[in-house]
Amino acid sequence: MKELIGTGVALITPFKSDLSIDHQALAAIVEFNITNGVNYLVICGTTGESVTLSTEEKKAITQTVIAANNGRVPLVIGIGGNNTAAVIAELKSSDLSEITAILSVAPYYSKPTQEGFYQHFKAIAEATNTPIILYNVPGRTAKNVEASTVLRLANDFESIVAIKEAGNNMDQYLELIAHKPEGFLVISGDDDLVLGVTLAGGAGVISVIGQAFPEAFSEMIQLGLESEVKTSRNLETRLMPIINLIFEENNPAGIKAVLKNMGYCNGLVRLPLVPATTGLQSKIDAFVAQF
């Protein structure tokens, strides 16, 4: 799955003032990212506020991104949850003909054992021929998918091709990189750690901030993949303040505040999230003005 090496971005879902989906804005964000060097796009992930989207809205978003992309970069779609049967039903009812891989989050709220995580992803792998990227984000799901469980799944199922690791735990990244089977990709989901992960042998990132600064972020990742430490670290230093700012309140309110400044969306999010405060928006505006 070499097409998933580099910079992927977790697309926001822009809304109109009535909180319906702004498909024109979404298409513009897709174009902005592709023309500025992003390697692939992720649809309906956490940053896309997937938990507040209806099935019909998800399908409409997917079609908008497919049309705007026009076959230029690979597409990944988020299909996951804590009801294994429902995830499988969504997989079977989805048209994945234009999709390179699915991103499937570890079951949240239920807090399974490691065997429960294994059996959940085993059932998903056996239900689809589409390649699967595991998504470990214990800060949201309340429980870590341990490296041993990920490696077991990677070795047992050829269709499980990668993990988006977002535990903000460098030790776990290094364990995965050291012991993964050949061809399995360790993709960072932590924008603040991604360069270190890439330099250590990771496959790049599925980024939040990358969609606002696609040229600089993609360059940083590419330099990291080429082991150009000094130049990539210089870019990391420039980007780190805005990486920290966008996660100061909640995601995706922070990244939407950046894109609002750039004229791509209005910054609105659906409840239970709320838009960035005026204080955070001011700090983000100041950063963008001097970048």
CATH number at residue 48: 3.20.20.70
Q: Both tokens of residue 89?
A: 């039903």
pLDDT for res 151: 98
Residue 216 domain flag: yes
| Structural domain range at position 186 | 2-236
pLDDT for res 60: 98
pLDDT for res 7: 98
Neighbours of 131 (CB within 10 A): 18
Q: Which residue numbers in the chain have pLDDT < 70?
A: none
Residue 187 domain flag: yes
Counting the structural domains of the chain, the total is 1
pLDDT tens digits for range 3-56: 999 999 999 999 999 999 999 999 999 999 999 999 999 999 999 999 999 999
Residue 60 domain flag: yes
Residue 284 domain flag: no
pLDDT for res 1: 87
Residue 243 domain flag: no
* Candidate list 40, 58, 118, 135, residue with the active-site label: 135
pLDDT for res 290: 97
3-state SS string for 114-158: HHHHHHHHHHHHCCCCCCEEEEECHHHHCCCCCHHHHHHHHHHCC
Instruction: Tell me which residue has tokens 């807090």.
Output: 111
* Candidate list 143, 164, 256, 283, residue with the active-site label: 164
Please indicate whether residue 164 is annotated as part of the active site: yes
Residue 270 domain flag: no
Residue 250 domain flag: no
Please indicate whether residue 260 is annotated as part of the active site: no
